[in-house]
Amino acid sequence: MTKGRTLLSEFQTFLLRGNVVDLAVGIVIGAAFAALVKSLVETLITPIVAAIIGKPDFSNLHFTIHHSVFLYGDFLNALISFISIAAAVFFFVVKPVNALVARRTRESDPESETTPCTECLSEIPKLAKRCAACGSPQTPTATMA
């Protein structure tokens, strides 16, 4: 009975570890995001492509060589879907996140940034006038805006 309780306890510990929970949340959010992107492609991007090209669905396009049918229309549908999803992810996720990260990097506190001491190479704040480890005078390297 204690072995079963220990096994159950270990299983509970495994499930409640941070990386397992994070992975589960990531999968759920990923599935929701996939549904959102699929809806964007089907309801907005595909009709735009159909308006430009004139056909909303290419699945009927094919050619035949020696009684072998090549359904290249299905491939075109998949290609357009892939390019549309990749563009949606790039423009609506990657670019905004990169801009946010760049803005946060620019707005970082200069006092929290460090530089190596010119004498002992320990890390000191960029605005420091003396090294805390060896006491040698330093020239502040941060630019004041």
The CATH number of the domain holding residue 98 is 1.10.1200.120
- Whether residue 41 contacts residue 84, with contact meaning beta carbons closer than 8 Å, is answered with yes
- Which DSSP helix (H) or strand (E) runs through 53? helix 46-53
Q: Are residues 69 and 132 in the same domain?
A: no
Which structural domain, as residue segments, surrounds residue 122? 112-145
> Which tens digits make up the pLDDT trace of 5-38?
788 888 877 777 767 777 887 888 888 887 887 7
Same domain? For 78 and 24 the reply is yes
Q: Are residues 50 and 90 in the same domain?
A: yes
Residues above pLDDT 90, as percent of the chain: 3
Residues 59 and 116 in one domain: no
- Min mean pLDDT across 50-54, 92-96, 109-113 is at 109-113
In this structure, the answer to whether residues 137 and 87 fall within a common structural domain is: no
Same domain, 135 and 66: no
**Number of domains, the chain:** 2
Asked if 27 and 14 sit in the same domain, the reply is yes
Q: How many helices (H) and strands (E) does the chain have?
A: 5, 4
How confident is the model over 95-122, as pLDDT tens digits? 988 888 888 776 665 555 788 888 888 8
Helix (H) or strand (E) holding 67, with range, is none
The distance between the two most distant Cα atoms of the chain, rounded to a whole number of Å, is: 86
Same domain? For 119 and 103 the reply is: no
Q: Are residues 67 and 8 in the same domain?
A: yes
* Same domain assignment for residues 101 and 122: no
Pair 73, 55: CB distance under 8 Å: no
